[in-house]
Amino acid sequence: MAGLFLSFEGIDGSGKSTQARRLADVLRKAGHPVTLTREPGGSPGAEEIRRLVLEGATDRWSAETEILLFTAARRDHLEKTIRPALARGEIVITDRFADSTRIFQGITRGDLSAVVDQLHSLMIGVEPDLTLLFDLDPEVGLSRANARAGVELRFEDMGLAFQTKARAGFLALAARHPRFRVIDADGDADTVAARAWDMVVPHLPKV
Ligand code: TMP
């Protein structure tokens, strides 16, 4: 695929959504065409699935059912938003992608990694060019995430042990794949944005 495909990952409350918006703004000001998008969601159909998976009781879906729902949403996002933007030569920044399924569904509630990987290769089959992992103490992340009023708290409600497991899982995944850059997400937004910028600059196309 042409273009540049960036994903932002991290536990809940890691600040990655703020950082994704900031990077998109800076890149646009520098003259790059950017599509800023998110998961679950990023296309009208996938946004409908978002409501199903992020709202309601924690036991609403099993981890297995979640794998199917998140992958269905991702497939639609890929077809309708990501692939067309990359084909136009744009920089795509997605706030979460397949690594979130590898972690939140693949390892937090038993070992479903093989199922996640099989479904990924069957239905998605692409990885970002670069993945920024915003790493933060889960206690700090969870208190930030819970401070946001809203209804999308199904995963936050799974608690500190869940987020702690997710953080360790993300770091282990990052150690295995060279496309990852781990960013210390502790600090004010300007400081973290500067860290993220340093990681992205070497990958930017000329404008
Ligand atoms: P967000 O808070 O970054 O918008 O993410 C929404 C929640 O969805 C977050 O708690 C993590 C969860 N999630 C998964 O469990 N699996 C996935 O594949 C994705 C994309 C998100």
- The string of pLDDT tens digits covering residues 75-119 is 999 999 999 999 999 999 999 999 999 999 999 988 999 999 999
Confidence of residue 206 (pLDDT cuts 50, 70, 90): confident
Stated as kind and residue range, the H or E segment containing 200 is helix 189-200
Q: How many CA atoms lie within 13 A of 67 on its CB side?
A: 22
Q: Provide the CATH number for the domain formed by 4-203 in this structure.
A: 3.40.50.300
Q: Are 77 and 46 in contact (CB under 8 A)?
A: yes
pLDDT more than 70, % of the chain: 100
Does 53 score more than 70 pLDDT?
Answer: yes
The best mutation among 43, 64, 104 to test binding of ligand 1, ranked by most ligand atoms within 8 Å of the C-beta, falls on 104
Does 140 score more than 60 pLDDT?
Answer: yes
Q: Are 44 and 92 in contact (CB under 8 A)?
A: no
H helix intervals, 30-159: 44-54, 63-77, 83-87, 98-100, 113-123, 138-147
pLDDT more than 90, % of the chain: 93
Distance CA 146, CA 156 (A): 7
Distance of alpha carbon 168 from its chain centroid, rounded? 16
The CA 50 to ligand 1 mean position distance, Å, reads 9
157-166 pLDDT, tens digit per residue, is 899 999 999 9
The residue nearest atom 1 of ligand 1, judged by CA position, is 12
The CA 39 to ligand 1 mean position distance, Å, reads 7
The CA 10 to ligand 1 mean position distance, Å, reads 9
The best mutation among 16, 19, 39 to test binding of ligand 1, ranked by most ligand atoms within 8 Å of the C-beta, falls on 39
Q: Where are the domains of the chain?
A: 4-203
pLDDT of residue 97: 98
Q: How many CB atoms lie within 10 A of CB 106?
A: 24
Q: Quick one: which atom of ligand 1 is closest to the CA of 38?
A: 4
pLDDT of residue 1: 55
First CA to last CA across the chain, in angstroms?
18
Mean pLDDT of the residues in the chain: 96
What value does the mean pLDDT take over residues 181-195?
98
